[in-house]
């Protein structure tokens, strides 16, 4: 009698299932917004930017981000800081980093009210946001801000379909944040929103780099087959 024939089949399959990680890292890619022509010159929705891996074993693998939306507050005229909704904006390079250009008011008007001397078109100011998608499954491994002030500025990142809001203030290490989304896998085609909030005088939030790792997620059908094999270890044939 072979009471444990199915057991002997199921055990190695189940062990194989345990040995396979749910997510497998592939290529490391860095999007550097240091005067990249793809995002220079007030570009709008639908603009794409690609970055290529320079690390083995996936040298040459490319990831592309697409601007899905960019929006900013609509301010009253004359400018007094009051908002009346949002308007489609554009991204722009300012001081070698990316920010949002609000078309509803001039730099001079903004600076007159707030006393700021920074370039409004090159910064994320309160109420301004940038929405992007990746063309591959990725984990965001680092944000590098060229400027962020934790006194009156906050930067929120949200991922479509995920309830968590990831918030950032002034960093202690050159405004760099490693693993900012706590290992969250951002699926290809998922909206990721970068938004500034804070007081009207809070300016100078700019992103200089976003680093990502491309990940491979096993097909559900493959996992189902392996899972079935694992469950077989609990099945025993009756005595003949």
Establish if 239 belongs to a structural domain.
no
Establish if 96 belongs to a structural domain.
yes
Q: What residue numbers bound the domain in which 136 lies?
A: 21-217
Specify the pLDDT at position 172.
61
- The domain total for the chain is 1
Specify the pLDDT at position 162.
96
Specify the pLDDT at position 229.
46
Specify the pLDDT at position 102.
84
Query: What is the pLDDT of the chain when averaged over all its residues?
Result: 76
Establish if 224 belongs to a structural domain.
no
Contact of 23 with 215, CB cutoff 8 Å: yes
User: What is d(CA 102, CA 42) in angstroms, rounded to the nearest whole number?
Assistant: 10
Summarised one tens digit per residue, pLDDT across range 22-80 is 556 678 999 988 766 666 656 778 888 888 988 777 777 899 999 999 999 888 877 77
Establish if 212 belongs to a structural domain.
yes
Specify the pLDDT at position 70.
92
Establish if 190 belongs to a structural domain.
yes
Beta strands (DSSP E) in the chain are 24-32, 48-52, 62-75, 83-88, 90-93, 98-101, 129-134, 138-147, 153-159, 165-168, 176-178, 185-186, 192-198, 206-216
Establish if 9 belongs to a structural domain.
no
Low-confidence ranges of the chain (pLDDT < 50): 2-7, 9-21, 221-240
Establish if 10 belongs to a structural domain.
no
Q: Which of 165, 171, 236, 161 is nearest to 208 (CA)?
A: 171
Specify the pLDDT at position 95.
62
Helices (H), 40-185: 107-114
Provide the 8-state DSSP code for 238.
P
Establish if 196 belongs to a structural domain.
yes
């Amino acid at each position: 009698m072979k009471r444990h024939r199915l057991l002997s089949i199921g055990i190695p399959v189940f062990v194989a299932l345990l040995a396979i990680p749910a997510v497998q890292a592939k290529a490391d890619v860095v999007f550097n917004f240091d005067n990249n022509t793809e995002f220079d010159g007030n570009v709008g929705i639908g603009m794409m930017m690609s970055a290529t891996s320079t690390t083995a074993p996936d040298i040459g693998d490319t990831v592309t981000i697409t601007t899905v939306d960019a929006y900013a507050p609509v301010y009253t005229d004359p400018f007094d800081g009051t908002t009346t909704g949002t308007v489609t904006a554009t991204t722009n390079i300012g001081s070698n980093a990316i920010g949002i250009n609000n078309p509803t008011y001039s730099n001079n008007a903004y600076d007159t009210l707030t006393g700021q001397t920074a370039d409004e078109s090159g910064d994320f100011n309160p109420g301004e946001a940038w929405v992007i998608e990746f063309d591959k499954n990725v984990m965001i491994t680092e944000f590098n801000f060229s400027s962020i002030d934790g006194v009156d500025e906050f930067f929120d990142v949200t991922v479509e379909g995920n309830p968590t809001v990831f918030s950032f203030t002034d960093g202690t290490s050159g405004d760099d944040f490693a693993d900012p989304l706590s290992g969250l896998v951002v699926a290809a085609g998922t909206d990721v929103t970068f938004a500034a909030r804070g007081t009207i005088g809070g300016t100078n939030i700019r992103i200089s780099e976003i680093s990502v790792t491309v990940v491979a997620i096993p097909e559900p059908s493959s996992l189902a087959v392996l899972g079935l094999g694992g469950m077989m270890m609990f099945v025993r044939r009756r005595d003949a």
